[in-house]
Chains A and B, each alone.
Chain A
Amino acid sequence: MEGAVICFGLFITGTILQLTVGSVNTILFQFPVNLIFAGIYWVCMLIMHLNKKRSAIIRWLSGMEASLTAIGAFLLMVLIMGLNRQTPVQSDIHPDGIVADIGFSQLTSSWSFLLIFLYMVTILLLTTLRKGLKFKIANIGFLLNHIGLSVVLWGAILGSGDMQRLHMVAQTGNPEWRASDTMGKISELPLAIQLEQFTIDEYPPKVMVIDNFTGVSLPNGKPEVLSMENDSLNGKLLDWQLTGSKYLPRAAWIQGRYISYQNEGATAALYVKAKNLKSGAKKEGWVSYGSFMFPHQALELDNGKSLVMPPCEPKRFASTVTVFTKEGKSIPATIEVNKPLKVNGWKIYLLGYDESRGRWSKTCTFELVKDPWLPVVYTGIVLMLAGAFHLFLFTKTRRKKI
């Protein structure tokens, strides 16, 4: 009961703060402010813990009821986040109305969320101290889970102010030293990226039948496609038997036909022979998805239907780059999706490319991320993983028949 009152009080306080001073700004929470805050906070916690015999409130805060209400209140905040559409902090959209005013549209930077989160973290820390300072081997699972979660959350809290996420647009043949943050502020970095080459590996081309008037792929609502296998097309699509007789993975459209062409702007082209299995009608011609240089090409079948080749699905995006550092080092590397590059404490991610040029893109957008608190978070994750395995392996068992 007391717990519910405290959480409600925190929520009201947070909402009043939200309405008067606006959202929480984490920019002020940078090193060393965050560390000083955390230091004072931890000392307070320790003092509170050592005085628990004298104060019923402190004992209550490290108790089960407080934990329950804190988890419940935080769950409610997370549900609000899940049920109400969130707008990114850096976006230009500023939702209005009462729901947005009390911080529900950007919940993670609202005061009510922050206060309830800190309340939960406080109780987690006091509970951990209560059991942790009187170490018993029987408590090992409890400690791994609670210390692990504490460490992860503190790594995240301290990191929220210090983490840098910057965007850099790198071009071929030109090292780029500048990057912009989420608010659009441009700064010069101690490292530069020069794009050497960007490539997209693609899955084999496929064909489908569309309605000429609506552009919808057929059958309506459940479109069928026929994929090429081992560079050849052979199969049935709707009423048509399709055979690919000539395939050019890199082609150019010149004077009414496709020829092999290896340079910039090349597209894939396939010469298809189609036979209608019902009417016996025959059609043949090129299909191609085109590129920024060449138009796409469809093969008209009958009754307002055409055979088309949609753009191939990407299999791999990769940028070969050279990274230059202020110390004069130059590092050749390949950056792929899921394979960021680590340089001098920065992680460099491939974020985007010039989509109008596709695989012939001459620019790539990279995201550069620095989170000095990441090792702390990973330490916590390892502890939590150990805690989870402990929970699984040492779950109490019972072999009695019901």
Chain B
Amino acid sequence: MTWDYFGWIVLASSLCWTAGALIAWKETSRPLAVGITASGILLFFLFIIGLWISLERPPLRTLGETRLWYSFFLPLVGLITYIRWNYRWILSFSTLMAIVFCVINLLKPEIHNKTLMPALQSPWFAPHVIVYMFAYAVLGAAFLVALYLLWKQKSKSTAIKYMELSDNLVYVGIAFLTIGMLFGAIWAKEAWGHYWSWDPKETWAAATWLGYLLYIHLRKHQPESHTAALGIVIFAFVLLQICWFGINYLPAAQGSSIHVYNM
């Protein structure tokens, strides 16, 4: 399976996701919404596996490849949230966001060649990046919830329920951020000699992590100040974006990061 098929896979998967989202929104049938969304995710996952086999390396090297995993994890996180907490709108959001990232990949594909530089040939490569992409997807969902809540005035009881969703997503997100960061630290010790070097990517990863820690502590300290907490979710998500790809454009990080593998 090569990149040439990507357009068709996107078409088929996003049709499944859109159908699933509509069914969930209309509350026609829960099992049908779950099943049809899951088949879209499965198809997308099979494409990733196929790409993996044809490239003879994990497709995780370029930014475009990390976007590919992001568009896979978003509907998955949406589906898990839907199954676990039963929010009927979550699939619409995750579908929309996944399609946006697929379209970016269609318009701006990266060169997908087979080479994998020795620095990335490690058993830690796949877990480190995949765990991070999953965390990014969960925190992307938290970001959408925050926007939704800040935008629309809710009654007090509804707002409290949504804040619980936001808490849950941030908890899961920061758990995976932490795991990704610690895997990265162990790998860095094996590859670069030190577990933490304040490389620009690491600096912004730390900032992102601290941002979400701030949210968790604020929620414990002042559970009623929703706006401040949601503001932090949005701010932390901006930090996350800088960490993910923003540092490629940030003047202070130019040429000084060893976390750059696009060619």
Note whether A and B form a binding pair.
yes
- Say whether B193 contacts A75, CB under 8 Å: no
Q: What 0/1 pattern do residues 281 to 315 of A give for CB contact below 8 A with B?
A: 00000000000000000000000000000000111
Task: Assess A395 versus B221: contact at CB under 8 Å? Given A75-B210, A82-B252, A338-B191.
Answer: no
| Interface check B245, CB cutoff 8 A | no
Cα-based distance from A347 to B168 in the complex (angstroms): 41
- Say whether A392 contacts B175, CB under 8 Å: yes
- Which one of A349, A395, A402 contacts B158 once the chains associate, using CB atoms below 8 Å? A402
- Say whether A337 contacts B191, CB under 8 Å: yes
Residues in chain A near residue B206, CB distance under 8 A: 78
- Say whether A156 contacts B196, CB under 8 Å: yes
Residue of chain B at shortest CB distance from A65: B221
Q: Of residues 314 to 360 in A, which have CB atoms within 8 Å of B's CB atoms? A: 314-317, 336-340, 347, 349
B152 to A: closest C-beta gap in Å: 12
Q: What 0/1 pattern do residues 163 to 206 of B give for CB contact below 8 A with A?
A: 01001100110111011001001100111111110101001101
- Say whether A313 contacts B115, CB under 8 Å: yes
- Say whether A381 contacts B191, CB under 8 Å: no
- Say whether A71 contacts B214, CB under 8 Å: yes
Q: Of residues 54 to 113 in A, which have CB atoms within 8 Å of B's CB atoms? A: 64-65, 67-68, 71-72, 74-75, 78-79, 81-86, 108
- Say whether B84 contacts A336, CB under 8 Å: no
- Say whether B86 contacts A399, CB under 8 Å: yes
Q: Of residues 115 to 141 in B, which have CB atoms within 8 Å of A's CB atoms? A: 115-119, 121-122
| Interface check B156, CB cutoff 8 A | no
| Interface check B213, CB cutoff 8 A | yes
- Say whether A68 contacts B85, CB under 8 Å: no
Binds B, one of A19-27, A39-47, A263-271, A383-391: A383-391
A86 to B: closest C-beta gap in Å: 7
A343 to B: closest C-beta gap in Å: 14
| Interface check A397, CB cutoff 8 A | yes
Task: Assess A74 versus B171: contact at CB under 8 Å? Given A203-B114, A392-B176.
Answer: no
Q: What 0/1 pattern do residues 84 to 96 of B give for CB contact below 8 A with A?
A: 1111100000000
| Interface check A134, CB cutoff 8 A | no
Residues in chain B near residue A317, CB distance under 8 A: 118
Residue of chain B at shortest CB distance from A225: B113
- Which one of A78, A86, A381, A391 contacts B207 once the chains associate, using CB atoms below 8 Å? A78
| Interface check B55, CB cutoff 8 A | no
Cα-based distance from A399 to B87 in the complex (angstroms): 9
- Which one of A165, A316, A340, A369 contacts B121 once the chains associate, using CB atoms below 8 Å? A316
Main secondary structure of the interface of A (DSSP, over half): mixed
Cα-based distance from A377 to B196 in the complex (angstroms): 11
Residues in chain B near residue A176, CB distance under 8 A: none
Residue of chain B at shortest CB distance from A348: B193
A7 to B: closest C-beta gap in Å: 13
| Interface check A396, CB cutoff 8 A | yes
- Say whether B198 contacts A385, CB under 8 Å: no
A95 to B: closest C-beta gap in Å: 12
- Say whether A165 contacts B194, CB under 8 Å: yes
Cα-based distance from A336 to B195 in the complex (angstroms): 18
- Say whether A391 contacts B171, CB under 8 Å: yes
| Interface check B211, CB cutoff 8 A | yes
- Say whether A165 contacts B193, CB under 8 Å: yes
- Say whether B190 contacts A340, CB under 8 Å: yes
| Interface check A401, CB cutoff 8 A | yes
- Say whether B203 contacts A82, CB under 8 Å: yes
- Say whether A85 contacts B256, CB under 8 Å: yes
B73 to A: closest C-beta gap in Å: 15
Task: Assess A85 versus B251: contact at CB under 8 Å? Given A156-B196, A338-B122, A338-B190.
Answer: yes
Top 6 A-B pairs, shortest CB-CB distance: A392-B175, A64-B221, A337-B118, A75-B210, A388-B178, A391-B175
Residues of A whose CB lies within 8 Å of any CB of B are: 64-65, 67-68, 71-72, 74-75, 78-79, 81-86, 108, 156, 163, 165, 203, 225, 227, 313-317, 336-340, 347, 349, 367, 369, 371, 374, 377-378, 381, 384-385, 387-389, 391-392, 395-402
Q: List 15 A-B contacts (CB under 8 A).
A: A71-B210, A75-B207, A75-B210, A81-B198, A82-B207, A82-B242, A82-B252, A85-B256, A165-B194, A337-B119, A338-B119, A374-B189, A391-B178, A392-B175, A396-B167
